[in-house]
Every structure is written in structure tokens, then in C-alpha cells.
Structure 1
Amino acid sequence: MAEPLIQIENLYKVFGKNPASVMTLVHEGRSKEDILAETGHTLGLKNINLTINKGEIFVIMGLSGSGKSTMIRHFNRLIEPTEGVIRVENTDVMKLSAKELEQFRRHKMSMVFQRFGLMPHRTVLDNVAYGLSIQGVDKAERNGKAREWLETVGLAGYEEQYPAQLSGGQQQRVGLARALCTDAEILLMDEAFSALDPLIRSEMQDQLIQLQEQLHKTIIFITHDLDEALRIGDRIAILKDGEMVQQGTPDEILLNPATGYVEAFVKDVNRARALTVETVMKPPARRITADTIGEALEQMKRIRGDYAYYVSDDGYQGVVTQQALEDANSETPFEEVVEAIPHVAPDAILESVIPETLESQYSLPVVDEEGELKGELSRRSLAEVLGDAESQTAAESSDNRG
């Protein structure tokens, strides 16, 4: 069950000489443009409410000026809100004293910056160990931990290099290792990969996903790139002009955009690369559990269609057709009428299973790591979610087995 770690309630931020003086206009619902024209104040965030769960990658995304970087700086109070509550593990961050806030920043949260934020006069090892040195950890211990994290991010052997000697991707790995080295529970990543070349950026996304599978940190990731958000986020919040217009899982946002703005955002996304089989599959309605030919025929009569998936005590075994059952006799071993066909995993990316789906005369069984039948993936379901003409044609011309 999801365990809330960070809670943001009724968060507002107004930039200007006297923010409190314009809050009446904000609460009246006046637009950002009107407030700026009338008062000279800029509305940065408006009534943000969200909960971030422990151990998830929560992505905050939007275009330039949407308020996403403003929001992330509220989590550790680098920016003070005009109104609102920020709780981390039920601690009201707004009530921390200056000393308590300093300790909170040192031990609870770490940041990874867009432009790496490395100190050019320090070696890679010293950069990674810097956070621990601020915490007062002795040199031997902090260097030992720094070496471990450099090995984890693939930079063992670079300890004595300087940032200028590294590529952009290597520098960002140093920044990531530095943030992880303090063992902070929460990782704040502000456009961390956006300065990288596309190929290196993709590699860093892969590495972050792999690290998260091991570490289970709570990661708040800021990006303007929807493809990046969909790829790495467990949940996503989309901002527009300081307001949160939608919050949900990647498939919820992709398949059910809440506003025209979000719909325009997701319009050009390659769904085949963004969605998994689990988001498209249907429940496995056709299921045979019988042990004999006669029992199987009886079950088949109650199933819509002329085939079903055979499931035993050991899990999914294959496909049984009505024709094969009718052609068999009472002496035929049941195993002989079971046809082995490829199955797919629930977490498989749709793009990887399109050929199998279109070529198979049956809906593909979706089977998890334990061998349990979780669903079925048909040509028609694939065509509906992808909106692909080729897939749709294949579905409509099928023999209605899908």
C-alpha cells in the first residue's frame, strides 16, 4: 500500500514586493496576466495540492514558465511559499527553525542540477564526497562511500579526474553520485538530464530506473519533456501557468487527458513506446481448467469463441481450440490438444509485442513471472489504443478470434 511521504496543501507563490497584498485577487480567481498587469506581481503557483508516496518517482512537468522549478524549490524551502503547507513525514517544513532547516537539507534531501553544479577545482572523488564532508563525516569514511557510488554509476577509475576532463554525461553521473552519497531519503532532480545529448540522456534515464529498482528512493523529477516523464515517472503532475491541470499515472494521462491542454501535450506521443501490455490487456475471459476432454468441451460451450487458454494448478499451459477437442476422443491425453503459443509479460512495452500480436491467430495470453494468466492482448485492443491504421485494418480483417 502506498505510504505518503510528502504532502503539499493549498500552496501559493506570488513573486513581487508585497505578495500578501495580491492574494485577495488570486483567491478571486483573477488570471496570472491580469494580476501582473494590475499589480506588477507574478503568480508562480496557484493552489497546488499533491501527495508524493515513499519510494516513487514523481515527475512534475510543464513548459517554460509553468512553475515546475519554482515548485521543487519549495520542498526544501529554497523558496518560501506565500501561502500553504509543506509536510515531510508529518513534519511541517514551514515551522523548522534556521538550524533545523539546515539539518533537514543536509540529511533529508539531495539535489541534482541541470548544469551539474560540480566544483571545477575539486577532483571527482572530492565532489562526490562533498556532502558528507559538510555533514562532518571523517575523510576515510566519506571517500570510501564516494568510491562506492562512483562505481555504482559506472565511473570507477575516474576518482582523480577533474570535472573539465569529463564528458557531459560523465559529469551528470558525478552529480548523481554526489546526491546519492549522502544517503538522503529524497532526491530532487531539476531538469537533471535536459542539458545532455539525446543518446546520453536516454542512457541516464535507463540508469536512474535501474538505480531506483535497487534503492527505492523518493525521487521528485522536473522535466519539460513528456516522453521523459512517461518513461521514468510512476506518477506525473502537469503544470500550466502555475496550476496543476492533471495528476496521474503515465497511462492515465496518456489515455485520459483531463483538459485540451493535456490532450495537445500527449497528441504526438508514441504510445507504442510509452504504454505497457498491462495498460491495454483485457481480463482473460476464455479459460479452461478441466482435466479431461469431455470436461473441457463442456467448459468451451460456455465460452464466447472457439478457443480458450488452458490453466492448470501450475499456471498457464497453452491454448485449446474447440476443433481440437472435437477431433479428439475420450482416450486422447488432454496434454495432446494443448497448443503452445507465445505469451507476453504484463510489463512489456507495446512496441515490442506488436508483431506477435498481429501475426497470431489468437489473442496473446499475458502471463506474469509466476506463470499466472493475467489477461489477453488482442489485435482490436491494440488498434484501439494506438489508433494505428495498419493495426485497425488487421483487427477488422481478422477471423473474429481476437
Structure 2
Amino acid sequence: MRSAVALRLVDQGAWSAAFFLLTITASHVLDVDDFASLTVVTSVGVVAAACARAFAMDGRIVAAARHGLGVEQALSSRVVLASSALFALLAVVASALWLLLGPVQTGLPTTFLAALIVLADGPHFLLTMRRRFRTAIIGAAPYALVAAVAATSALVGAQVDVLAVWAIGLVLSSIASWAAVSRLPRRAVSVPAASGTSSRIAAEALYSALGSQLGILIVYLVASPAATAGIRLTYSVVYAPAFSIIQALTPLLLVRMSELDANGGRARGRLAARWVLGGLVGVAASGVAGWGAAATGLAGSASTLVLPFLVPIGAALLGNLVLDAALLVLRFRTHARTPHRVRLAVVTGDLAVQLVLTLWFGLVGLVTALVAMAVVKVVVAALARRSGPVTALPEGAVRT
């Protein structure tokens, strides 16, 4: 288990480092308007990638676990490929529409990056969920290497076409990952009720990802490009260490919970509690380090853009972490519709509060909305955890 965690951290570390370095490089070589547009495109790409992986993998794993099937039997490379292609197309359309609504349309040629983010994420995440951690690193390595070359070139003053470099890194990663996937044995079987469960979990991924990225998207429409840049730098630079570790270990958490039997509810609860505690420490440490770097000017003049967003975005990350953990436990002990409805209610409120307060009060409204909804998510998570005793399924019974 320790070796799996170490390999997963290396893999996700390389993947997140690539995004981190390319974001930093873009903030240095692009003007504020172009960087703000790029921020919208990458945000939409992240949302679409989350939906694609939830539909093609997370949902099938949960549905398979309810019927006594393992992870290897649940996952299909064909489903992943089809889902990635569909959501990649949707990402391009959505990012283009959002840019057209904004004050600057110069970023339209960058929308292809949203599709590449989705297409590279699918096979990489499939290797991770099938526990091919060493092989997954093969996909992350070229992405990180290209990003490191771009950042180094910018540091020494060389001209860098960051968009072309970003695209090359994602294409190389996608090719390497799909080549590795093609060599895996095919053990997927038909999973009962997979379509319904996958659709609900994909919808939840959309709600959750939109909740985390909505601030960036709304601020792009109503505030200055500098504010959009500040939010992106806070997410992708300040909280990158904690976020990358959470992303690295989340697949292992899902797989571990799916392996516990019908009587493993209390064990899942303890596992979720340890998960939340570790995430709290990581987010707090990243926030303090980011504040120190920005306040002292150690990270350069651009770092001052993050100061207004350190507390609200840190609170939002923790709120999402606590809610995700509570709903994951709930998902294994109740009907699939229950966590879906909880998520829908919370995220609907989150989106509405962010939208109304940001449009009405600007950045102050966004900050208030992020903190207030973080508190709401913690309360909802506590209620979900106390929603009733864990009951074991009768032998041979299936909960749908």
C-alpha cells in the first residue's frame, strides 16, 4: 500500500507540476487579458475532464461494487475513449461561448486546449484506477518535462509560445497513456445499472467542478482580468501542493472504499475522517506558505494578486473536501439517488449564491459567497454523516 501511495504521489506530482509550471509561465509571457482568457479555457477543460472521468470510471466502479464486481471488471477503455471524445468537444464549445460573453474575445484560438486537457486526462486516470501507477507515470512524465523546459526557457529570457508548448505536452501525454492502455488485458464486463449511476455521478462531478470554477468564470465576465488572474494563481499555484496530493490519493480512497464489504460502513467513516484531517492540514499549510510568499514579495509582483483570495478559496477547498468525503461514504450505504440529490441541492445553492452576490457586489460578494457556502457544505456533510445507522445488505441482495 505504501508503495502504491508513493507512486501515485510521484505521478500526480508530475501531472500537477506540469499544470503549475505552465500556468506560471503563461502568467509571465502573456498579457493580463490573454492570461485571463486562457484561465477560462483551462477551467472549462478541468470541469469537462472531471465529468468525463466520473461518467466513464467513477460511476461504473460504484455500480460494479454494489453488484460484487471488481474495479478491473468495471472499467472499459472503449467507454473512456468515447466519453473523453464527447466531453472534449463539449469543452471547446463551452469555452468558446464563455469567451464570447466576456469583454475580450482574443482567447478564442486557445479553446483547443480545453479539448486536449480532457483527452489527456482520460487514459491517464484509467491507468491510475487500474492501479498501473508506474505505467501512469509514463503519461505524466512528458507533460512535466515539456512544462519544465517551457518554464526554464522563460526564466532565462527566451521566447516561449506557451500555448504551443502546452498543447505539445498534452498530446505527448495522451499518446503515451493510450499506448500503455492498449497493452492492458481487457476484463471489462457488462455492469448492471451502470448508465444510471454513471450519469448521476457525472452530473455531481459537473456540479462540484462548476462550484469550484464558477468564481473564475463569473469574475471574467464582471471584473477586471487581473481579478481572474488572481483567482487562477491562487488555485493553481498557492494551493497546488495540497490539491495535487488530494487528487493523487482520491482514486486510492475510492478503490479502498469499494473493496470494503457491506458491513464496512464504520470503517469507511473512519477512513473518511482521516482523509478530511489530512486535507485540512495540507490546505492550511499551503495557505500560510502562500500568504508568506505574497506578503513578503518573495514570489514576485504577480503574487500580490492572490492575497484577496487566500482565505475564501482555502475555505472553498475545505468545504468541498468535507462534503465529498461524506457523500462518498453515503454513496455505499444508500440509494444512488440520495447523494445525487444532496449534491444537487448544495451545488444549486452554491451556484445561485455565487452568481447573485458576485453580480451584485463584485469581488466582495464572491469572497462572501465562497466562505458562506464552505460553512454550509460542512454542515450538510455533518448531517449526511448522522443520517442513520449503517445497515448491512442481506446476502445476495443488490442496492440500486
Task: Tell me the TM-score normalised to structure 1 length.
Answer: 0.23
Q: Which of the two has higher C-alpha Rg? A: 1
Higher RCO structure (Cα 8 Å, ≥6 apart):
2
Q: Which has the higher helix share?
A: 2
Task: Tell me the TM-score normalised to structure 2 length.
Answer: 0.23
Q: Which has the higher strand share?
A: 1
